[in-house]
Amino acid sequence: MVSLTFYGGANEIGGNKILLEDKGARIYLDFGQSFTFGEDFFYEYLAPRTANGLEVYFEFDMLPKISGLYSKNLLRMTELKYRKPDVDAVLISHPHADHIGHLGFLDEEIPVYMGHGAHRITEVYHKLYSGFSNIGEHKNLRLFGSGEKLKIGHITVEPIHVDHSIPGAYGFIIRTSKGPVVYTGDFRIHGPRADMTKEFAKKAAAAKPKALLCEGTRMGYETEHNFTEAEVEKKASEIIKVSKGLVLVYFSMSNIDRFMCFYRAAKRNGRILVIDTRLALIIDSLKDKIKVLPDIKKDKNIAVYFRITKSFTYHKENYDAWEREYWHKKVTSGDISKNQKRYVMHLGFYRLMELVYIRPKKADFIYSMSEHFLEGDDNEAQGKVWKNWMEHFDIKFHKTHSSGHASRSDILSFIKQLNPKTTIPIHTESADDFDKATSEITKPSKGETIEI
């Protein structure tokens, strides 16, 4: 018997924790934190303290109470007795928090399989945000590349790269005793590396899957136009071209495709792209994995922004050693203020204070992330603050974005191409919309076990 138990990712976007069991083999597909994690009981500084263990998480049913899964140290104040792990592997599809966010809770002996690029990203994020980005210690961390065959007991797993809004994203073809199970992770077909997703689809279709676990983030709606990264770049370039002042941009630092969009758009219009030291480190850490990335330390079209220190100086020794590696690329608020039309500057919400020192005039701001992060109900207060900053400095606001997830029509075409015996909707709040697919649909509930 092959079964799938959905401890997360069923009827929700993110939080994937799916246990596959087959003749004694136990494999988790991702181990992420849901976007709504703890929101019913915690708010801002009212939050569980991991240092105290998992007792609060168990109290409010925020984690499944499963023996043989968690670190012994984290169980010391709980009623769940520690038992040596009986999990053969955790397969990580990509390094977004809703897929890796709870890795740090696992027993250190459990083997964790992760792509080389994904691991590189987790390392650099932990260096930058050690208190918020921590996948924990894993004695059996095993890295893979696309097309490798992973042998986990009698099960063979083939990871194949897919296009997503972060590098190091994979789907999996899992060959079980009852036939192949395909797990998409998160994917898109309209991105700059659509060829990777198409390769995955072709190989997955050839495997003749018995079951397809398919993400459906965007299944609940169909946009009039599915914007591509090329279209984002084109619109950004047009805005930069006509701007009479500083152009500010905001995109996720892990979205390398979006970085390249703005890098090329700035370069095409004779401007210098300004990034802070954190983004410089991320790009620098990935350039040997992603060959199209520019060399931050050498590229004349990129400058690195240094914030003024608490002593109101720019003494080199006051910055971290890794930041000082970019000292020769340094620009300051004063440099940008004096020649605003020369620059395109990456600036996130928590860096808006820099505008007080830059004093932008006739500036434009290009917001290039999912609208949910600006306009979602949970972010109403942040959206209001953002709007007030834009109005205060008379900054013209623009939006251009390409989703990291496949559209509804692309998902339905994908399912049709793979032609699985059954499709299981995951990572979606719109499982009913999968009824339009040319496949038998099995809709899971959280905590439910499905036999295939």
pLDDT digits 0-9 by tens, 68-89: 999 999 998 999 999 999 999 9
Tokens representing residue 262 in the block: 């703005």
CATH number, domain containing residue 351: 3.40.50.10710
Confidence of residue 378 (pLDDT cuts 50, 70, 90): low
Domain that holds residue 285: 229-399
**Angle CA(51)–CA(52)–CA(54) in degrees, nearest 5?**
105
- Give how many domains the chain has, as a whole number: 2
Other CB atoms within a 10 A radius of the CB of residue 347 amount to: 21
Buried b (16+ CB within 10 A) or exposed e, 37-61: bbeeeeeeeeebeeeebbebbbeee
Lowest-confidence segment of 49-53, 68-72, 155-159 by average pLDDT: 49-53
- The CATH number of the domain holding residue 184 is 3.60.15.10
Q: Hey, is 20 helix, strand or coil?
A: strand
Going by their DSSP bridges, the two strands 302-305 and 272-276 should be labelled as parallel
Q: Are residues 60 and 126 in the same domain?
A: yes
pLDDT digits (tens, 9 = 90+) for 198-244: 999 999 999 999 999 999 999 998 776 889 999 999 999 999 999 99
On the question of pLDDT at 262 being above 70, the answer is yes
Please state whether beta strands 449-451 and 2-8 pair in parallel, antiparallel, or not at all (unpaired): antiparallel
* pLDDT 10s digits, 279-307: 999 999 999 999 999 999 999 999 999 99
In terms of domains, do 124 and 71 share one?
A: yes
Whether 413 and 278 map to the same domain: the answer is no
Q: Residues with Cβ < 8 Å from 146, sequence gap 6 or more?
A: 115, 159, 160, 161, 170, 196
Tokens of 305: 């922004």
- What per-residue confidence (pLDDT) applies to 375? 47
Give the residue among 8, 33, 58, 3 at the shortest CA–CA distance from 447: 8
pLDDT-derived band at 325 (thresholds 50, 70, 90) equals very high
pLDDT value of position 49: 79
Task: Quote the pTM value.
Answer: 0.94
Quick check: 192 pLDDT over 90? yes
Contact between 97 and 31 under an 8 Å Cβ cutoff? The reply is no
Q: Is the pLDDT of residue 64 over 90?
A: yes
- Residues 247 and 391 reside in one and the same domain: yes
| Contact between 114 and 150 (Cβ < 8 Å) | no
What share of the chain has pLDDT > 70, as a percent?
A: 97
Same domain as 421, residue 378 = no
Please tell me what DSSP assigns to residue 145.
-
Judge if 384 and 426 occupy the same domain.
no
DSSP string of 221-272, one letter each residue: ---SS---HHHHHHHHHHHHHH-SS-EEEE--TT-HHHHHHHHHHHHHTT-E
Please determine, for residue 155, whether its predicted confidence score (pLDDT) is greater than 60.
yes
Q: Give the residue carrying structure tokens 């263990």.
A: 53
Q: Give yes or no: residues 32 and 159 share one domain.
A: yes
* pLDDT the model gives residue 129: 87
